[in-house]
Amino acid sequence: MPAAQGIGRYIEQIARNNYSSLVDTWHYGGRPEDARACAELAVRQHVWAQLLQRDRDHIPGLRAQPVHDPAGFWFVTVLEDRYPEIRAEIEAVLDTDIDPVQPTLEDGWLARRGSWRQAYLFREGNWQPDVCAHFPITRSILAEIPEVTTFSPGVILVSRLSPGTHIIPHCGSTNAVLRIHLAIKVPSRVSIRVADQVMTWEEGKCLIFDDSFEHEVHHDGTGDRVVLIMDMAHPDLDTAHRERLLARRPGPEERITAFMRERGIERIAVKDGRIVFTPDRAMRELVTNYMAAARVRAAEVTGDQVRWQRLEGGG
């Protein structure tokens, strides 16, 4: 029986991963109706219990609440009281030669239009010295809040959105983490939707939500929106679950390994400033067959445009 249950959990995990990727693809393609239909099918098949909470790594029994009251967390008072210092330090760095807030690489695909820039102060259980060097006051304040460092499997980062940016609907990977936003600079006509609640940030105030629920951001105003983002463990998480989450925080090597395995890459190397990927055997065979069938010898994708180098006689 335990083995059968293990197989069942494994299948459920695969289903969540595949459905998540498909829903994300429909949203990225600008087809929200198809994304919703796909999510509804997944709920009917018991992949998820709720249409708008679609985490890949789900821990049963945690309160499923899209937005949480900041008043219920002691450290919110600290963050809001120290907001003037945090804002002054961040503003002093933005748009300078040493500005570490740069276009996001990992989540950049979520910004279907506009510009989304980030700088990580804390990730994978460690402070990031190169970034923290620019924000010593902010780091010292956050170091006194164990919920967002010692007890959290998540990240701390400065997030900056330019006018015209739309972050498409998406869900965080787990329901075990809550996300905290301390609003640094907020122009008018910028909003965030979490599940079915549409909210705006208020400068100097915290917003706390469960990002395993579908959320998206619209910036239709002028001036950049800047927030300090922090993660914390879900308050309903028991000690054993929290310890397991903290123990399996992936390091850079693990992230690279997972990236390679998920994408069929055998080797990655940096050569003369360029990144060179070597596909594994299965990926080589797949690509070779596809390219032979299409009679092409090279392809280059830039945004929505594709350039083909065709074989002679390939049309």
pLDDT: is 48 or 252 the higher one?
48
Q: Which CATH number fits domain 67-249: 3.40.350.10, 3.30.200.20, 3.40.50.300, 2.60.120.330?
A: 2.60.120.330
Q: Is the pLDDT of residue 23 over 70?
A: yes
Q: Where are the domains of the chain?
A: 2-44, 67-249, 255-310
Q: How far apart are CA 227 and CA 181, in angstroms?
A: 6
Out of 44-53, 178-187, 221-230, 252-261, least confident range: 252-261
Q: What pLDDT is stored for residue 171 in this prediction?
A: 96
DSSP 311: P
CB atoms within 10 A of CB 39: 24
Decide: 172 and 212 in contact? Cβ < 8 Å.
yes
For residue 3, name the pLDDT band (cuts at 50, 70, 90).
very low
Sign of CA dihedral 67, 70, 73, 79: positive
Decide: 214 and 169 in contact? Cβ < 8 Å.
yes
DSSP 282: H
Q: Is the pLDDT of residue 152 over 60?
A: yes
Q: What pLDDT is stored for residue 4 in this prediction?
A: 47
pLDDT tens for each residue of 8-18: 777 888 899 99
Q: Is the pLDDT of residue 137 over 90?
A: yes
